[in-house]
Chains A and B, each alone.
Chain A
Amino acid sequence: MKRYLPFVIVSAVALLALAGGAMLYHAKQLPLLTISKNRIASGTDGAESIHIRGQPDAPVTLEEFGDFECPPCGRLSDPINQLEHDYHSRLRIIFHHFPFVTHQHAREAALASEAADLQGRFWQMHDLLYREQSTWSKAADARLLFNAYAGMLGLKIDRFKKDMESDEVKRRVTADQQQGAALGVTVTPTIFINNRALPAASLNAAGLRAAIEAAINAKSPP
């Protein structure tokens, strides 16, 4: 009996590992977040969502909760821009802030984008912050770089600096965070396509495109 015991033990551990892994995988797949119709971020419940690109009647809305210092969010920035270009009037993009406290400059970056928005340059700053993420995220004083970016975008620097400190931009960022938390957002990027969150495994260019195609097909008459 002792001779066969190690075979039994090793086989049992293999089975346990497989079963445990499968159960964990299943548990991690659920549940996916959804936005109920009365909480659509474009604003029927009064929640502010002012960063929208695309047509209001676009059949597909891609809504992102993002953090400018989050590398996966940065990696998705260009693919989302490409999708917007490819789908044009069929795709609407909405961006919400969800900066993590574990990211040293994330909230400041969100404030910078809102300060840029007060001069009509939110999306330009949004794209620039993602493009330059690897630079400012490691900087000791990121604000110097944000000021430089504001200059590059042709913003009035004095106003930009003042706006970054204003209650208005802080309120906007906090409102977005609260909205995300209320929806159950815990990670970034969290992306909703027509109010249904995508699984993390789909957060890549191909996954987003497939989800958009599926949403367009679902809305098309048979």
Chain B
Amino acid sequence: MESRNRIILYTIAASISLAGLAEATYLTVLSLTGETAVCGGSASCFQVLGSGYAKIAGIPMAAFGILAYFSAFGFATFAAFGYARVRKFFGLTVWAMFAVTLWLLFVQAFLLHAFCRYCLFSAALVFVLAAVALLTPSSR
């Protein structure tokens, strides 16, 4: 029974990671085409995505998001199929994403004074992933 619950939780985590992967890919493309360097649509979003915090050494933060969500997806998928060793990596990836998400929320709230709906959606996904990670400790 416990094993079945674990499969369900990791399947949920993989699905959530897929949604995050799609969003991160979209935002990376926006950044690469320069669309985040213009104004239009939601002013707050463009204020956040066009800010200096949206890139690290010229690389869009969203590109790191692709890497993170894809890793989480991969680890969750393998874990769902019974690869016990990857559970630890899933947990590590999710908690790293959680820490970065907290930092980005701080940046939006206190440094930019603007919130981007894409970033908030991503934050919500990461919070759910963190909940899954809590419910499926790697040591269990």
Which A residues contact B (CB, under 8 angstroms)?
A: 2-3, 5-6, 9-10, 13-14, 17, 20-21, 24-25, 28-29, 67, 70-73, 100, 102-103, 186-190, 199-204
Distance in angstroms between the alpha carbons of A3 and B81 in the assembled complex: 8
CB of B39 within 8 A of CB of A72, answer yes
CB of A17 within 8 A of CB of B70, answer yes
Q: A21-B28, A72-B38 are in contact. List 16 more A-B contacts (CB 8 A).
A: A2-B81, A6-B81, A13-B21, A24-B29, A25-B32, A28-B29, A28-B30, A67-B39, A72-B46, A72-B50, A103-B43, A188-B38, A188-B39, A199-B33, A200-B37, A203-B38
Chain A contacts for B16, CB-based, 8 A:
none
Distance in angstroms between the alpha carbons of A201 and B29 in the assembled complex: 11
Distance in angstroms between the alpha carbons of A186 and B40 in the assembled complex: 7
Specify the chain B residue showing the minimal Cβ separation from A74. Answer: B39
CB of B25 within 8 A of CB of A20, answer yes
Determine, out of B72-80, B87-95, B96-104, B116-124, the stretch whose residues face the partner at the interface.
B72-80
CB of A17 within 8 A of CB of B66, answer yes
Which B residues contact A (CB, under 8 angstroms)?
A: 18, 21-22, 25-26, 28-30, 32-35, 37-43, 46-47, 50, 66, 70, 73-74, 77-78, 80-81, 83
Across the interface, A102 reaches (CB within 8 A) one of B25, B35, B43, B83, namely: B43
Chain B contacts for A199, CB-based, 8 A:
33-34
Across the interface, A71 reaches (CB within 8 A) one of B41, B47, B78, namely: B47
Specify the chain A residue showing the minimal Cβ separation from B66. Answer: A17
Chain A contacts for B26, CB-based, 8 A:
24
Distance in angstroms between the alpha carbons of A138 and B39 in the assembled complex: 17
Chain A contacts for B70, CB-based, 8 A:
13-14, 17
Specify the chain A residue showing the minimal Cβ separation from B31. Answer: A201
Chain A contacts for B25, CB-based, 8 A:
17, 20-21, 24
Contact sample, A vs B, 8 pairs, CB 8 Å cutoff: A28-B29, A28-B30, A28-B35, A71-B39, A100-B39, A187-B38, A200-B38, A202-B34
Judged by DSSP, the binding face of B is helix
Which 3 residue pairs are nearest across A and B when measured between Cβ atoms?
A: A200-B34, A201-B34, A187-B40
Chain A contacts for B33, CB-based, 8 A:
25, 28-29, 199-201
CB of A70 within 8 A of CB of B28, answer no
Distance in angstroms between the alpha carbons of A202 and B38 in the assembled complex: 11
CB of B39 within 8 A of CB of A103, answer yes
Chain A contacts for B38, CB-based, 8 A:
70, 72, 187-190, 200, 203
Q: Given A13-B21, A21-B29, are A6 and B83 also a contact pair (CB < 8 Å)?
A: yes
Q: Given A5-B81, A6-B77, A6-B83, are A203 and B40 also a contact pair (CB < 8 Å)?
A: no
Distance in angstroms between the alpha carbons of A130 and B82 in the assembled complex: 58
Distance in angstroms between the alpha carbons of A46 and B70 in the assembled complex: 54
CB of A100 within 8 A of CB of B74, answer no
The smallest C-beta distance from B136 to any residue of chain A, in angstroms, reads 16
Distance in angstroms between the alpha carbons of A199 and B32 in the assembled complex: 11
Specify the chain B residue showing the minimal Cβ separation from A99. Answer: B39
Chain B contacts for A3, CB-based, 8 A:
81
Specify the chain B residue showing the minimal Cβ separation from A3. Answer: B81
The smallest C-beta distance from B14 to any residue of chain A, in angstroms, reads 8
Chain B contacts for A200, CB-based, 8 A:
33-35, 37-38
The smallest C-beta distance from A11 to any residue of chain B, in angstroms, reads 10
